[in-house]
């Protein structure tokens, strides 16, 4: 994606600029995670989970359609900043699982997060390389 933005002169510099795109998400999360914890405690876990899931769909889509480098960085930052799902779901898992199953519930949350981090970019990269007709065909076959 960074290569397609044509902001680098040498191919070796692509990873340098891609690091900023990747770290923008974590910077956004670091700045807002405490805030999302307070909001989840005050207004409930469900609204934060619904809002976080919605922002993931919206900002990941906008990120995929980014047409320049700064748009990609800003959408990744906003994705992290407006996403309070992980901490909220871990707190929710501690509340709904009995004491003897809390470790299993928390590990399932982390495992699903890790699987999503592997499958999501792999699927997105695959779909970015195929034609729109192939994507439609795959969607009809799967669903």
Answer yes or no: is pLDDT of 76 > 90.
yes
- The pTM (predicted TM-score) of the whole model is 0.76
**Helix, strand and coil percent figures for the chain, each rounded to 5:** 85, 0, 15
pLDDT digits (tens, 9 = 90+) for 20-59: 998 999 999 999 989 998 999 999 999 999 999 999 889 9
- At residue 113's C-alpha, the angle toward residues 79 and 46, to 5°, is 65
Spans of all domains in the chain: 1-96, 103-143
Average pLDDT, the chain: 86
Q: How far apart are CA 110 and CA 90, in angstroms?
A: 9
Structure tokens of 113? 């997060």
Any residues with CB less than 8 A from the CB of 78 and at least 6 apart, and which?
28, 55, 59
């Amino acid at each position: 994606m960074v290569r397609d933005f044509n902001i680098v002169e040498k191919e070796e510099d692509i990873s340098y600029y891609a690091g900023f795109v990747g770290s923008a998400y974590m910077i956004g999360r670091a700045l807002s995670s405490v805030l999302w914890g307070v909001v989840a405690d005050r207004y409930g876990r469900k609204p934060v989970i619904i809002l976080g899931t919605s922002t993931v769909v919206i900002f990941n889509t906008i990120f995929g359609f980014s047409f320049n480098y700064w748009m990609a960085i800003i959408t990744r930052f906003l994705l992290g900043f407006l996403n309070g799902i992980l901490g909220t779901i871990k707190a929710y898992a501690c509340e709904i699982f009995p004491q003897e199953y809390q470790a299993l519930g928390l590990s399932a949350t982390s495992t699903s997060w890790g699987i999503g981090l592997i499958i999501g970019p792999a699927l997105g990269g695959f779909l970015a390389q195929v034609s729109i007709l192939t994507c439609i065909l795959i969607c009809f076959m799967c669903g």
